[in-house]
Amino acid sequence: MAPDGDPLLRHTIEGDGDMPAHVRVALTVVCLNIPVIRGALALVTWQGIYLWEHRHQLHTRRIAAHYIWD
């Protein structure tokens, strides 16, 4: 849906893959809530958590995690 090099997605302030990355992140989840039961993530057999980077240029990324005790 947002291929690199598409002339319709031209925006190169942060590199050639900048605009396609903006479109891709709008189509994916950027915030996740996961229940924790007895200190373990409550995921079923085929569930997992993945971090996907939508740009090809090297840079650093920070992840924030918040634990809410009920």
5-17 confidence digits (pLDDT tens): 677 766 666 666 6
Interval 36-52 mean pLDDT: 87
What confidence score (pLDDT) does residue 61 get?
79
What confidence score (pLDDT) does residue 70 get?
65
What confidence score (pLDDT) does residue 13 get?
66
What confidence score (pLDDT) does residue 63 get?
83
Written as one string, the DSSP assignment of 10-55 is ---TT-TTHHHHHHHHHTS-------EETTEE---TT---------
